[in-house]
């Protein structure tokens, strides 16, 4: 829990606050954009929640925060927020919450399916989530987009006897991974299609689920400050030019209706618009080379 002694001076007066341990990973603003602002170096409470719905989203952000920087002056009951994770986003896709410090607060997801459930990147390994995943049928595959966001994947793999999937060029982060992919081929596995998308890192992968849900890791995301889908120029560790080409290839994913990233925010895509959105993203990426 955050420490009131370290509360940021920018916080609006009231119960909830952000303290100076905040790493500005932006996830509080994904859960409660109307409540949390950005000082440029930290998140802060720009206004206090005004109703139960808003308070619930603040509490979800508090639990998701990877560094426990969100706190409350008075005692709060987190039961409802705790029970909301994993949060159902659509059909069989769930947002896990409990983002991990080790992945700089990347989002992770759970896919529930009759052929065996998937974890996409990893949240913290916590009894609450483990119990929930067990009740939802366990985990068959752990899909790891790239080396930055593996977090507690090894603990989940051990507990659920799951198969970790990662590219060889990223496998230094999970050398014991059960399925290490090589080269630039695509792979079909149950309802998932795995594609090689280097750029952010050298061996980055994305998962196209049921042809319409795209799990993009740190390759591509909705960027709230810029109000568009794109990649993060300042967080490209391998090659921006190669990342542009990897984004360009995603225009082939014609039926995508949701993008679920690690960093950046999830975003809905109007039907049949994804190729056009990709073209716009590529234009923008070329403009900031």
Applying CB under 5 A, which residues contact Fe ion? 148, 218
Q: Please name the residues in contact with 97: beta carbons below 8 A apart, sequence gap of 6 or more.
A: 60, 63, 64, 84, 85, 86, 87, 123, 129
The nearer residue to Fe ion, 45 or 205, going by C-beta atoms, is: 205
Give least dist CB 238 to Fe ion, A: 10
Taking CB atoms, the residue at the shortest distance from Fe ion is: 148
Give least dist CB 263 to Fe ion, A: 7
Give least dist CB 262 to Fe ion, A: 6
The nearer residue to Fe ion, 55 or 218, going by C-beta atoms, is: 218
Give least dist CB 149 to Fe ion, A: 6
The nearer residue to Fe ion, 160 or 222, going by C-beta atoms, is: 222
The torsion of the CA quartet 21, 25, 28, 32, rounded to 10 degrees, works out to: 150
The nearer residue to Fe ion, 152 or 218, going by C-beta atoms, is: 218
Give least dist CB 200 to Fe ion, A: 6
Q: Within 13 Å and on the Cβ side, how many CA atoms surround 203?
A: 18
The nearer residue to Fe ion, 92 or 149, going by C-beta atoms, is: 149
The nearer residue to Fe ion, 86 or 217, going by C-beta atoms, is: 217
Answer whether 49's CB lies under 8 Å from 58's CB.
yes
| DSSP per-residue string spanning 185-204 | --EEETTEEEEE--SSSTT-
The nearer residue to Fe ion, 92 or 148, going by C-beta atoms, is: 148
Comparing C-alpha atoms, which of 203, 220, 205, 202 is closest to residue 256? 220
Helix axes 240-249, 274-287, angle to 10 degrees: 170
Give least dist CB 215 to Fe ion, A: 13
Q: Annotate 216-280 with three-state secondary structure.
A: EECCCEEECCCCEEECCHHHCCCCHHHHHHHHHHHHHCCCCCEEEECCCECEECCCCCHHHHHHH
Give least dist CB 220 to Fe ion, A: 12
């Amino acid at each position: 829990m955050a420490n009131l002694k370290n509360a940021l001076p920018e916080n609006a007066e009231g119960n909830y606050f952000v303290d100076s341990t905040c790493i500005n990973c932006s996830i509080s603003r994904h859960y409660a954009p109307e409540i949390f602002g950005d000082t440029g170096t930290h998140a802060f409470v720009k206004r206090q929640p005004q109703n139960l719905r808003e308070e619930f989203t603040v509490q979800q952000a508090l639990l998701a925060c990877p560094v426990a920087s969100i706190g409350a002056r008075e005692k709060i009951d987190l039961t409802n927020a705790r029970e909301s994770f994993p949060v159902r986003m659509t059909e069989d896709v769930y947002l896990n919450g409990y983002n991990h410090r080790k992945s700089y607060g990347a989002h992770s997801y759970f896919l529930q399916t009759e052929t065996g459930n998937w974890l996409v990147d990893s949240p913290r390994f916590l009894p609450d989530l483990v119990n929930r995943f067990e009740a939802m049928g366990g985990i068959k595959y752990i899909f790891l987009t790239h080396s930055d966001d593996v977090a507690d994947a090894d603990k989940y793999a051990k507990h659920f006897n799951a198969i970790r999937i990662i590219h060889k060029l990223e496998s230094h982060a999970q050398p014991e991974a059960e399925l290490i992919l090589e080269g630039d081929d695509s792979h079909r596995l149950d309802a998932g299609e795995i594609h090689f998308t280097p750029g952010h890192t050298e061996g980055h992968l994305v998962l196209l689920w049921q042809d319409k849900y795209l799990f993009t890791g740190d390759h591509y995301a909705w960027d709230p400050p810029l109000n568009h889908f794109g990649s993060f120029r300042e967080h490209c560790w391998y090659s921006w030019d190669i990342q542009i080409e990897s984004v360009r290839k995603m225009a082939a994913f014609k039926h995508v209706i949701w993008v679920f990233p690690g960093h950046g925010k999830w975003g809905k895509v109007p039907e049949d618009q994804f190729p056009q959105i990709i073209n716009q993203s590529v234009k923008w990426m070329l403009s900031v080379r």
